[in-house]
Structure 1
């Protein structure tokens, strides 16, 4: 097994972090471009939001496919091929002439984007010892956040100088370089043992997870929170691109630096969890998220950015607790249990535009805030229910 801080550990960890960065710059590059794409193709805010929704929906479907497939054919080949296809899809997006073609290519890209997230941690589990695994996963998750920030900033800045097509060309070329380095650095798998794929076994495991209330509650919690969080960013670009703000794509990309609040939230969640239960931490994260949404109602741009930063802190604080809760409470097939959490997570992202659009049309950003609070109240109650359920299971049932 590969030990922490060895040469192979550094090579593999750098490769997987680079792969993660590549996935998320490609997934999120269109987000600051949504106002420009809406005007270019003459579509509604709901329709242009599909550029994000169809990709995350396809990614959600791909997670279960690639996770199970990797057990049979290997994880390294899936990561290498899907990363290359991801970069080629982004270059292809720069050449599309119609909105329909853009959506179709985003569906294809969303599916291949699922290759690395579905199997990266499983690859680490195969090859790293326990300490090496924990250290590598922490760096890998940080790369997720940096990829989300980097893709939006690159997309926004490139569009400012050359239009939305330039954004896809720049990110596509950067992705090809990252893929080449990934192919070079990732070591050959030495401990992978292929197992025949059996659909019935995989299906039974998924059904078992969905019947476990402790897991289903966390799945719904993560999916509903992400439904609000990621789609708030889409609608804030519409708000800030219009009067009185009139931000260009370059500055719309910069607002995603508020994601750094999430990096801090994730880092602090583990420390707070040593004092509070995981469901209590989830409740705390949602409460912070609701408070941040309140701050975004301000008309002052600096306060809006503060609110978004607080939102990111609260969301990622809660998300890190919910994802680790799944690993703790899945008794069997932990890989598929974690994959199923991500399915709900990205399914929520894909449905958020459909949910928020009517509120946006009726009441603008106030409508988005009200719609957000309604869902967040629901996830707050979910976390409270998990807390109560966990306490009930831990308390001996004394009968007389």
Structure 2
């Protein structure tokens, strides 16, 4: 993979070998650091990320309570989390096509508002089947935000600030994931899982309102008709791009680790030898603040080490966290979770920002394909990790994560070797 800090974007690649003219620079309407619109766009996407991840993972912090109340195994309960990410993955491409036709901000608003309203129905689900079906529908409704947000940033933010803007958006995801799990977990510990879901819905509705009030109107969006054949051609082109395929694989593998770990950590902390109360175990999601910091700094890390260097670092940190978490002490388990979270968010922010910079056309579809892989990784890792935990305890869940990181290291190493071969070929000419 080439370094992340090449300075090229989809909008500038055709003329990347020559500097833009003064006239072109003067008419560039993309937001830059220091602009009021840049700050509003960052805050709006931050709020949207909060809403999305509050809703997407609203049941993850409640899994031990759901298991106890509905008499479910960890694998069965984990479907309430995996179902939402599966529904989201299936709806991403259609949502990206709608955003090309009706606009980024319109689709993001409709998506988050619909999902938040559906969240109001979740506390009334009478059984697991109903809850899982509602979560699939809610995940599909949510698809418009993640399918569109990266395309919006790639179009509206200047390339020099894209990595940092993407990092802040991912940071909003981490804040949403943390706050949703904390609020729902504390409420569930006090009043039951139904009240936990209700508090998540209220928090998400407030975040959607903030997003709508803050988001600047798109300046560089050009509507395009929904053309199924053109969409298929665009998707096929992206799937033939080796660099994009590697980025998609990395998104899947990083998220498989995250799903395996966070679908099972609540069970581990509330069981022997730790035996923590549910309210205390729910507080573990404050670790997401580490993810906020690591995702926001991913752009600086890539600028210093290059994209592959940032990915190697993220893989190494995540692997170290998984190994440390195998120790029997609570301190080691918590430190391991910190490292896993930091490594995951750094890797995701690096890979996702690279997708917007790599795709020269069909950015929404390129982003959607990345997120399909990403959320399928969550569903796969979360379900397999929960079953592994049920069979072998924490060592089983950690083994799922370590396998994913070994594969991610292999993908990145292959990219490094390909880059070396290209450089030698150019030097020999």
Q: Could you state the TM-score of these two structures normalised by the residue count of structure 2?
A: 0.86
CA-based RMSD of the aligned residues comes to 2.4
Please name the residue that 2:129 is paired with.
Answer: 100
**Structure 2 partner of 1:203:** 232
* 3-state SS in 1 of match to 2:78: helix
Aligned partner of 2:305 in structure 1 is 276
- 2-side partners of 1:283 and 1:130: how far apart? 24
Report the more deviating stretch, 340-349 or 130-139: 130-139
| 1:72 counterpart (101, 120, 131) | 101
What secondary structure is seen at the aligned counterpart in 1 of 2:255? helix
Does 2:330 match 1:330?
no
Task: Give distance in 2, aligned partners of 1:298 and 1:285.
Answer: 21
Q: Return 357-366 or 373-382, whichever deviates more.
A: 357-366
Distance in 2 between residues matched to 1:31 and 1:53, nearest whole Å: 9
1:213 Cα deviation from its structure 2 partner: 2.1
Partner of 1:152: 181
Structure 1 residue 128: deviation in Å? Answer: 4.9
Distance in 1 of aligned mates of 2:73 and 2:251: 28
Q: How much does 1:173 deviate? A: 1.9
One of 111, 115, 122 as aligned partner of 2:151: 122
SS in 1 for 2:225: coil
Q: Which has the higher contact order (CA 8 A, sep 6+)?
A: 2
Determine if the alignment matches structure 1 residue 369 to structure 2 residue 398. yes
Does the Cα contact within 8 Å between 1:266 and 1:320 map onto a contact in 2?
A: yes
- Contact 2:239/2:245, CA 8 A, preserved across alignment: yes
Cα deviation, residue 232, structure 1: 0.8
Tell me the alpha carbon deviations over residues 183-210 of structure 1, each in whole angstroms, 9 at most, x when there is no partner: 3333444553211111111111211222
The answer to whether the aligner puts 1:44 opposite 2:73 as a matched pair is yes
Q: Name the residue aligned to 1:91.
A: 120
Partner residue in 2 for 1:227: 256
Deviation of 1:221 (Å): 1.8
Q: Given that residues 280 and 387 in structure 1 are in contact (C-alpha distance below 8 angstroms), is that contact kept between their aligned partners in structure 2? A: no
Q: Which residue of 2 aligns with 1:389?
A: 418
Segments of 4+ moved more than 6 angstroms: none
Is residue 2:355 matched to residue 1:311? Answer: no
Matches within 5 A, 1:107-256: 107-128=136-157, 136-189=165-218, 191-256=220-285
Say whether the 8 Å CA contact 2:88–2:139 is kept in structure 1. Answer: yes
> What does residue 291 of structure 2 align with?
262
C-alpha deviations, 1:54-79, integer Å up to 9, x for none? Answer: 11111112221111111112222222
Tell me the equivalent position of 1:378: 407
Structure 1 distance, partners of 2:191, 2:255, is 31
Q: Please tell me whether the aligned partners of residues 164 and 299 of structure 2 are also in contact (alpha carbons under 8 angstroms).
A: no
- Tell me, in whole angstroms, the C-alpha distance in 2 between the residues paired with 1:288 and 1:124: 28
Aligned to 1:356: 385
Give the SS at the match of 1:104. helix
Whole-angstrom CA distance in 1 between matches of 2:234 and 2:64: 42
- Indicate the larger mover: 328-337 or 370-379: 328-337
Inter-partner Cα distance in structure 1 for 2:242 and 2:161? 32
Change (3 A) 1:384 1:22: same
> Partners in 2 of 1:157 and 1:98 — Cα distance?
22
5+ residue gaps, structure 1, are none
How far apart, CA to CA, are the structure 1 residues paired with 2:213 and 2:299?
34
Q: Deviations along 1:262-305, whole A, 9 cap, x unmatched?
A: 23333444334344342233223212211111111122212211
| d(CA) in 1 for partners of 2:157, 2:382 | 39
Extract unaligned runs of 5+ from structure 2. Answer: 1-28
Q: Per-residue deviation at 1:314? A: 1.8
Instruction: Judge which range, 29-38 or 171-180, deviates more.
Output: 171-180
Q: Residues 301 and 170 (structure 1 numbering): CA distance in 2 closer, same or farther, change over 3 Å?
A: same
Deviation, structure 1 residue 372: 2.2
Q: Would the aligned equivalents of 1:2 and 1:132 in 2 still touch at CA under 8 Å?
A: no
Question: Structure 1's 324 and 303: CA in aligned 2 closer, same or farther, altered over 3 A?
Answer: same
TM (norm. structure 1) is 0.92
Q: Which moved more, 1:212-221 or 1:350-359?
A: 350-359
Aligned with 1:193: secondary structure?
coil
